[in-house]
């Protein structure tokens, strides 16, 4: 007999499957993500025009700009979610440490395992326990793990997401019973469980209170040494606090979104090269 993370006895027969410890899923660390001349359409409507951007490994890159300028579309292109929309198309390349994620020989599931996503609205599986939410990605990616391996992984990922101390005594309760901020951190933990090299975040704090927002920002700061992070945010103070580099998107007068300026976050906020960047980060429009 063995015990699970809650101390419940389990039969050794549960461990007879071939075991691959989750901690060696990829064996590689954070990656540099690079977009080269990316354009995107929904039907005949062009929403991005030849966007190029390097998102360095072990850094947080913030994508800022007014609503409707293509930030979220660009983010979804970075892990091939753009393909889920029937009318969507794109041109250009997205390179993960030099490898094109859109290469015809590359499986879409592999790309999405290496480049995870956390959405604007927390989306844990509501009827599934906190524990099962964290390990859900293992099954979806056909990764087998023994009970001890899962227990260790759950604790590790919840700790990295800043949630372990709050939920360690109720891991078998539904994930949907958590507060909004806790649910978002649970989604971060779930994403981390499959060892992504890049983590994309689409306005992860937009629906959260200030306390939960601060905790998510602390989590981002703690994670960036282990996973490259790209975050879309409309909160300029948040972009200044959490990011190392920043890209300002803009679409005007019905034209597709482009990057007006990108670079070091401090420089973008304190000495931008383009007047439009200065106007936006200082709240004069948007």
Residue 213: predicted pLDDT? 92
Domain that holds residue 238: 33-125+196-281
Query: Does 215 fall in a domain?
Result: yes
Q: Which of 230, 236, 248, 243 is nearest to 70 (CA)?
A: 248
- Residues of the chain short of pLDDT 50, as ranges, are 1-27
Q: Which residues pair with 229 in a beta bridge?
A: 60, 199
Specify if 163 maps to a domain: no
- Residue 268 in any domain: the answer is yes
CA 27 to chain centre: 19
Q: CATH code at 104?
A: 3.40.50.300
Q: For the chain, what is the domain count?
A: 1
Residue-level pLDDT at 137: 82
Whether residue 201 lies inside any domain: the answer is: yes
Q: For residue 165, is it within any domain?
A: no
Domain annotation covers residue 179: no
Residue position matching structure tokens 């015990």: 3
Task: Answer yes or no: are the C-beta atoms of 173 and 47 closer than 8 Å.
Answer: no
| Distance in angstroms (rounded) separating the CA atoms of residues 117 and 192 | 10
- Give residue 138's pLDDT: 83
The reported pLDDT for the residue numbered 148 is 81
pTM: 0.86
CA-wise closest residue to 262 among 55, 100, 77: 55
Q: Which helix (H) or strand (E) holds 98?
A: none
Task: Classify residue 81: in a domain, yes or no.
Answer: yes
Q: What pLDDT is stored for residue 134 in this prediction?
A: 95
Q: What is the pLDDT of residue 35?
A: 98
For residues 112 and 196, is the Cβ–Cβ distance under 8 A? no
């Amino acid at each position: 007999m063995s015990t699970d993370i809650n101390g419940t006895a389990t039969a050794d027969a549960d461990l007879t499957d071939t075991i691959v410890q989750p901690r060696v899923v990829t064996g590689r660390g954070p990656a540099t993500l690079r977009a080269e001349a990316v354009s995107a359409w929904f039907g005949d409507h062009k929403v991005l025009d030849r966007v190029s951007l390097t998102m360095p490994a072990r850094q947080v890159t913030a994508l800022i700009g007014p609503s409707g300028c293509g930030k979220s579309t660009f983010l979804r292109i970075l892990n091939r979610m753009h393909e889920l929309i029937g009318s969507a198309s794109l041109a250009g390349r997205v390179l993960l440490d030099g490898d094109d994620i859109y290469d015809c020989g590359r499986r879409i599931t592999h790309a999405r395992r290496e480049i995870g996503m956390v959405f604007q609205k927390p989306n844990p599986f509501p009827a599934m326990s906190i524990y099962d939410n964290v390990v859900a990605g293992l099954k979806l990616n056909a990764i087998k793990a023994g009970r001890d391996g899962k227990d260790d992984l759950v604790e590790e990922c919840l700790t990295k997401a800043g949630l372990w101390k709050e939920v360690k005594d109720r891991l078998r309760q539904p994930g949907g019973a958590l507060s909004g901020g806790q649910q978002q951190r649970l989604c971060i933990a779930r994403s981390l469980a499959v060892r992504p090299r890049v983590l994309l975040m689409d306005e992860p704090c937009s629906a959260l209170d200030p306390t939960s927002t601060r905790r998510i920002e602390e989590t981002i700061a703690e994670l960036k040494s282990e996973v490259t992070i790209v975050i879309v945010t409309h909160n300029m103070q948040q972009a200044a606090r959490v990011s190392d580099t920043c890209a300002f998107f803009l679409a005007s007068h019905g034209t597709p979104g482009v990057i007006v300026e990108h670079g070091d976050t401090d420089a973008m906020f304190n000495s931008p090269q383009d007047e439009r960047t200065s106007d936006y980060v200082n709240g004069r429009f948007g």
